[in-house]
Amino acid sequence: MSLAIGSVADPAASGPTVDATAIALLKAILTALGGTITMTGGLTDAQLRATAVPISAALGGISLPTALVHGQKTVAAAGTEEALGASATLYSGVRIKALHGNTGWVYVGANPVTSGTGLVLDAGEEVFLEVANLATVYIDVSVNGEGVSYIGS
């Protein structure tokens, strides 16, 4: 992925005119995605590098989570949904993985989750959910005693 833009200082240059703040933001995003940015006129490559900022700062200072939430959850009786865990604030969501020893399916979703409404996971399959609270995720199983492991932050 690459992006070519015109001059920052010369509106007559080919391509759109972009200010230095926008260039810094574009560069941070493209760098995070493994891309490149090139431009004609205006800023030199050295000047462009000098305007680079970490993507978290460019996006308003995203804070990294300071704690992990993790565990395993099994459902004793198939057909009986249960919350994945107790109420726990999540900032980056949760990854849920069906236990490798499962012989049936796990159903993941919101309350109520059933075999007809949940996302179906086979043994070893996983899903990542962008949720703010662990207790909002429910699981059910098709075989008594099976379940998932999870990790979130």
Overall size of the chain counted in residues: 153
Residues 91 and 30 in one domain: no
Residue percentage of the chain with pLDDT more than 70:
63
The CATH number assigned to the domain holding 74 equals 2.60.120.10
Whether 10 maps to a domain, the answer reads yes
Look at the chain and report how many structural domains it folds into. 2
Residue 21, token pair as written in the block: 């703040």
62-89 pLDDT, tens digit per residue, is 667 778 999 999 999 999 999 999 999 9
- What's the predicted TM-score (pTM) here? 0.61
Q: pLDDT band at residue 57, thresholds of 50, 70 and 90?
A: low
Mean pLDDT of 12-32: 63
Beta partners for 58?
none
Q: CB of 37 within 8 A of CB of 26?
A: yes
Residues 73 and 117 in one domain: yes
Distance, CA of 85 to CA of 68 (rounded, Å): 13
99-126 pLDDT, tens digit per residue, is 999 999 999 999 999 999 999 999 999 9
Residues 87 and 54 in one domain: no
What domain range is 26 assigned to? Answer: 2-58
Residue closest to 106 by CA, chosen among 74, 63, 67, 131: 74
Residue 99, token pair as written in the block: 């236990």
Distance, CA of 74 to CA of 8 (rounded, Å): 58
Whether 63 maps to a domain, the answer reads no
